[in-house]
């Protein structure tokens, strides 16, 4: 792949010449030179410049779309050559929702790296909606999400089962109750994840199945990560709904207490989110590793 193409992709994804220069470890004038050369070669303008900001032109968007496909083909080539030589090579960009990236993937990725040390792994995390958007923009090769959405441009495959549970701080006034009713659940002060979170999406649907609107809960605050919620619970007389995989240690150490809500269980399915069509060999290799890993 021509180096000018790589420079263009970096500028297009950052919408900044200076950020692209930092990312590629070259000077900003060199970035400008490469973009001008590519524009002359294609006889088109790739970027509109408005003040201090740049934007892709329609031709720029088209060029980006095609060059991302070329980039993927080169990575496929590296992988296939690595397979022939029995040394797997390539680069894999994975996106994962917060719960998956923090509590499931690190050890599994370390195991994958130990087995395939020549494959470069990159992990981006955020909420499930954000990861789906990165996938649609071709900024990652695959995602692992925890929401129940279904976008037609994305193919979803099962990863593993999970369960959301109700927890409270061990010093909370609710810690000794152990069992609460669904009516209690609606009244007790509650902290939830932010909009776009897969966890919040699953909670909404579970409540709807029980004839309850999430707007009827006594939600005091929305926080942007599971870790933030766990820390918040330490000094909060209230409850939260979190993945059981995210609170195993805290429950064992009696920092958090699980509360059972009568007749209200929240199972969920964690999923792979992929581009439509046949996954690349590298994506398949990583998926198979995760499916066989003993979490």
- Tell me what pLDDT residue 120 has: 92
What is residue 98's predicted lDDT score, i.e. its pLDDT?
A: 86
How many helices (DSSP H) and strands (DSSP E) are in the chain?
12, 12
- Distance of alpha carbon 93 from alpha carbon 115, whole angstroms: 17
pLDDT at 233: 95
- 96-138 confidence digits (pLDDT tens): 998 899 999 999 999 999 988 989 999 999 988 999 999 999 8
CATH of 1-69, picked from 1.10.3720.10, 1.10.10.10, 3.20.170.30, 2.60.40.10, is: 1.10.10.10
| Per-residue b or e along 64-79, where b marks 16 or more CB atoms closer than 10 Å to that residue's CB | beebbeebeeebeebb
Residue intervals of the chain classified under CATH 3.40.190.290 are 160-268
Pick the CATH number of 160-268 from 3.40.190.290, 1.10.287.1770, 3.55.40.20, 3.40.50.300: 3.40.190.290
Q: In this predicted structure, what is the pLDDT of residue 213?
A: 92
For the chain, which ranges sit under pLDDT 70? none
pLDDT score, position 250: 95
Q: Radius of gyration over alpha carbons of the chain, in Å? A: 23
DSSP 215: G
Give the C-alpha distances (Å, rounded to integers) separating 253 from 169, 221, 233.
Answer: 11, 25, 14
Within the chain, all domains assigned CATH 1.10.10.10 are found at: 1-69
pLDDT score of 54: 94
């Amino acid at each position: 792949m021509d180096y000018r193409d790589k420079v263009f992709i970096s500028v297009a994804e950052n919408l900044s010449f200076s950020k692209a220069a930092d990312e590629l470890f070259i000077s900003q004038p060199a970035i400008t030179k490469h973009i001008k050369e590519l524009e002359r070669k294609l006889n088109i303008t790739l970027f509109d410049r408005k003040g201090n900001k740049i934007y892709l032109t329609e031709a720029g968007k088209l060029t980006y779309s095609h060059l991302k496909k070329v980039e993927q083909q080169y990575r496929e080539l590296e992988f296939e050559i690595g397979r022939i030589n029995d040394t797997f090579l390539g680069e894999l960009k994975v996106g994962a929702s917060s719960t998956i990236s923090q509590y499931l993937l690190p050890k599994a990725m370390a195991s994958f790296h130990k087995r395939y040390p020549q494959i470069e792994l990159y992990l981006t995390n955020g909420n499930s909606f954000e990861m789906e958007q990165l996938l649609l923009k071709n900024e990652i090769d695959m995602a692992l999400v925890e929401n129940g959405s279904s976008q037609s441009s994305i193919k979803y495959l099962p990863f593993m089962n999970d369960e959301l549970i109700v927890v409270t701080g061990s010093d909370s006034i609710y810690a000794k109750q152990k069992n609460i009713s669904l009516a209690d659940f609606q009244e007790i002060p509650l902290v939830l994840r932010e909009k776009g979170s897969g966890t919040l999406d699953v909670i909404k649907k579970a409540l709807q199945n029980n004839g309850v609107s999430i707007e009827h809960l006594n939600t005091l605050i929305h926080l942007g990560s599971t870790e933030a919620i766990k820390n918040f619970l330490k000094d909060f007389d209230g409850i939260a709904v979190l993945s059981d995989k995210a609170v195993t240690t805290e429950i064992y150490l009696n920092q958090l207490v699980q509360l059972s809500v009568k007749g209200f269980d929240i199972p969920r399915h964690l999923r792979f989110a992929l581009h439509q069509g046949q996954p690349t060999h590298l994506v398949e290799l990583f998926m198979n590793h995760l499916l066989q890993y003993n979490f």
